[in-house]
Structure 1
Amino acid sequence: MRIPRIFHPEPLPAQGTILLSDDAANHVGRVMRMQSGQELMLFDGSDAEFPAMITNASKKSVEVEIQGRHEHSVESPLDIHLGQVVSRGEKMEFTIQKSVELGVNTITPLISERCGVKLNAERFEKKLAQWQKIAISACEQCGRNRVPEIRPIMKLEDWCAEEYDGLKLNLHPRANYSINTLPAPITKVRLLIGPEGGLSGEEIAMTEQYQFSEILLGPRVLRTETTAMTAITALQVRFGDLG
């Protein structure tokens, strides 16, 4: 049976006894119903894993004894910062989950002219916390020990205007170049994925002003969540650690 991987939000010692965070304790104690004597693998956002054993478990708290520290990284050599215009409902959650599994390092939710999601500041804060939990859960599942950051929601132009020392890409169905024609090597990519209705003409012109290069994925028009997964996979195959 696979040993469950659990994220701990604070730096872990190589040896010692700790209490799991409230979220982790709820998952281990209430959802998984694990008991004393069972094993866990903890990680804290560093390139390390911490084998541990449950010493005391209740519905409200879980105590574990850490039994060592092992350096272990499955991070891609390609640093990808995904700028994703917020999509409706489960589509955004799907995009975050799968992009984390595929190795994205940073995700910034964006608001564009044709963004179909209208939320107030309080609801966006709740969404942000929910999206970060999805990223943590994806790391627990896929074996990553570094948890990607879900940044606060930004306006599209503000994100495009940020200084960045890597390649900046905007996917466009009428672009002349593909990911396979990009020159190697590339180690950092800022990838922009627009909404279902695409970026407006003014927004596309704006991205060009900030030195984003337009690239094409293929002859078919993809949904926004499919576009993100396809582009990230193609970049990881070309410059990262897939394939």
Structure 2
Amino acid sequence: MPRFFCPVPLNEGQSLALPGTAARHVQVLRLQPGQTITLFNGEGGEWEATITRMGRSDVDVMLGAHHATEREPDREVRLALGMPANERMDWLVEKAAELGVAGLQPLHTAHSVLRLTGERATKKQGHWQSVAVAACEQCGGNRVPTVHAVADFAAWLKSLPPANAGELRCLLSLTEGTQPLAQTLALAPTGASVLFLSGPEGGLNANEDAQARAAGFAPVTLGPRVLRAETAALAALALAIS
């Protein structure tokens, strides 16, 4: 059954005009009155909905039963990363959303190739948020991860609250003194969330690595191989939510 993100209040028995993006997707799929779709608004669960009217550019539905279905990982996992270049960031956002990441923080770091400011940064953030929405529509996720505005590495670190036992902070690192990620996760307190920090192509520089450790990030490794920036981030996510 086709699934659509509908970021408005939803209630059983409600008659609703679909928001523009969802309405366009219904039009593209050539769905017809009487057909059933699934809606979710990111607040938990999903609704059955029946198409009642197809206009030239608008679509009306009648909401049916709500199902308290959750397909999110048991552990909340977030990712902050130096943005990879080209289309790799799009791919990373899509796959991270499919895996169940709770939030993504794009960062400017010393080795970052991709540099975004002003209107271009705002447009990219909106684009990546749309990529995350589409991924959740496809994979069955009912809670869309937030893609935050692009931030400077040092400023973002300063904005973090003090480290606490309820959150495990992990720095993906190739330097000496790292611990296997699986071992770190196994020792984490029950119910603790995870915040991963991953560098761009070339990784974080020595100063950034030191700043991250001072902010409570424990250096971890995924093994002896040198992975691409996007591969390392997704491998860490997959391990943390398994």
Q: TM-score range by the shorter chain?
A: over 0.9
- Superposition misfits of 4+ residues, deviation over 6 angstroms: none
Matched letter for residue 62 of structure 2: E
d(CA) in 1 for partners of 2:44, 2:237: 22
CA distance in 1 between counterparts of 2:113 and 2:55 reads: 43
Q: 1:114 aligns with which of 111, 114, 118?
A: 111
The letter for the 1-side match of 2:87 is E
- More moved, 161-170 vs 190-199: 161-170
CA distance in 2, matches of 1:61, 1:92: 32
Deviations 1:18-50 (A, max 9, x none): 011001111111x21211111100011122211
CA distance in 1: counterparts of 2:155 and 2:25, whole angstroms? 37
| Unaligned ranges ≥5, structure 2 | none
Structure 1, unaligned runs of 5 or more: 238-243
Preserved contact between residue 108 and residue 115 of structure 2 (Cα < 8 Å): no
Shift, 1:147, TM fit: 1.0
Residues 59 and 173 of structure 1: CA distance in aligned 2, closer, same or farther (over 3 Å): farther
The match for 1:8 is 6
Residue number in structure 2 paired with 1:225: 230
Root-mean-square deviation over aligned CA pairs? 1.3
Quote the residue 2:172 is aligned against.
Answer: 171
Amino acid at match of 2:20: D
Distance, in Å, in 1 between the alignment partners of 2:154 and 2:68 is: 39
Q: After superposition, where does 1:157-196 map in structure 2 within 5 Å?
A: 157-161=154-158, 162-163=160-161, 164-165=163-164, 166-174=167-175, 175-182=177-184, 183-186=187-190, 187-196=192-201
Cα distance per residue 1:175-212 (max 9 Å; x no partner): 43111221133521110110011111111111111111
CA distance in 1, matches of 2:78, 2:139: 19
Q: Check if 1:153 corresponds to 2:150.
A: yes
Give the counterpart of 2:15 among 14, 17, 22: 17
Query: Do the aligned residues in 2 keep the contact of 1:26 with 1:59 (CA within 8 Å)?
Result: no
TM-score norm. by structure 1 comes to: 0.92
TM-score, normalising length from structure 2? Answer: 0.93
The 2-side partners of 1:181 and 1:48 are apart by 33
Number of the residue aligned with 1:62: 59
Q: Which residue of 2 aligns with 1:74?
A: 71
